[in-house]
Structure 1
Amino acid sequence: MQESEFNIQEIELIINHAFREDIGSGDITTNNIVPKNTLAAASMTAKADGIIAGLNIAKMIFRKLDENLEWNPKIIDGDRVVKGDVILEMKGTFRALLTGERLALNLLQRMSGIATETAKYVAAVKETKVKILDTRKTVPGLRTFDKYAVKMGGGTNHRIGLYDMVMIKDNHIMMAGSITAAVEQIRKAVSSEITVEVETTNLIEVKEAVNAGADIIMLDNMSNELMKEAVDYISGRALVEASGNMNLERISGVAKTGVDFISIGALTHSVVALDISQNIIIK
């Protein structure tokens, strides 16, 4: 993660919470066995093929434990590794390398797993105009990391939260009385710079969303054939997002319907961590 990619204060809050959770008042095992000034070297190695994300997060964790830690990454976030590749090397106090190991690996493995899975979907639609989107289906408190990892895998971030984009769904429509009424209420209440997206499940709703002036129309849980009809009807009058039950087997066919975006909750809600190991050598 590059410093320009995130709010440093926000990341500090997340890491500080992780420290309270895992280290608390101190690593009583390490601190009572390892002499304070014992130096060591460590390396992290990929145990599986994938895309790496979260290196600077790992560095921040170790640097909080040893401000003089020597950090020598062999790659940068977004790079592809194969099993056996050395990801980074570092030198510092044995205590810091041992105490920070699990925190750093937990985040690095999760983020790299997200980046790796995202890259598979991006590759599956590379011959089309489609952008792969993430969702809000992230671990509470870790959304900044999860969405950054999606970007490192070549994906595109959808809305960050409930505050930066309008998403009108079935319950909103039920309350407003119709798609048209819901869009009208929103347009009167929020800045014109805010994107308005409407979820639809059939062609009748698609037509109403187009006529209501939605910026993006989500085609939710539609068949590929129905999505193609919807895209043809919309005909560039709004951007189109496909969503619901997306997987690698289906994604290429969905992309060929002409949609602009495909959103995939599984990128972040069903993460398979990338296997990464740390090895420490006493100096």
Structure 2
Amino acid sequence: MAQEIPGWRHIYSGKVRDLYEPESGEDDRVLVVASDRISAYDYVLTSEIPDKGRVLTQLSLWWFEQLGEVPNHVISTDVPAEVAGRAMICKRLEMFPVECIARGYLTGSGLKEYQATRTVCELPLPEGLVDGSRLEKPLFTPSAKAEVGEHDENITYDAVVMMLGDDLAAKLKTLTLDIYSRAEAIARDRGIILADTKVEFGLSNTGEVTLGDEVLTPDSSRFWDAELYSPGKAQPSFDKQFVRDWLTSDESGWDGNSEPPALPADVVEKTRARYVEAYERLTGRTFL
């Protein structure tokens, strides 16, 4: 349930974020609030992760600074006290119906496709790759956005061209791979491997392609500890892997087809700790 915020009217809730518009009727600004909600396997869980919304917001703001050459949607962090630290006032964008994903390593859904067809999003890859293999060069592997509770669907670059046209498709691909390459180098300098990431773009009211939503957080990216990196198996990650692992364990008793159970306190705390550690190691700042 979205909270009441004086001066703002709630207009949308996603898995994690709530959007508000000014009650005054201005239509060029939105208040983007990151909650402490957490999702797994396309379910929004009843349990929340304390401070998760603050970590996501503060880390996104830090990355927007590092990617200053890419236009982004942030206008101000001067937000109502009720959501201080977890919200941004942003440009209202017309979002593209595409999740822009860059993969520098083979894992997740890409690994599953590779094992079946030696491709990822129909892009051919060499033989002999394993879980965690570094790719010769990063891949742009888009997906079509799904409604909350549905699975995003991997699509080909040609499908993006069909949706958006040659020029826009090429721009999104170039921006996505440029962001990945810049962020991968920054993370590597801090002892973290950026395996893959998802970014989203939209058009501003002036027609400029603009980076929106969150960017390079543990919710939208796979971050691995470089010291523990070992291809051929699943890598420990700075995200909600504790949640996924517990849900699929015998202890949870979850059948995968119904609302997941509440998380144990230790899983909540371990997940919070991983989000905070990702923030602190990447930014070099202490999370307060």
Structure showing greater relative contact order (alpha-carbon pairs closer than 8 Å, 6 or more residues apart):
1
- Please report the TM-score for the alignment, with normalisation by the length of structure 1: 0.26
Instruction: Pick the structure with more strand per residue.
Output: 2
- Please report the TM-score for the alignment, with normalisation by the length of structure 2: 0.26
User: Which structure's CA Rg is the greater one?
Assistant: 1
Instruction: Pick the structure with more helix per residue.
Output: 1
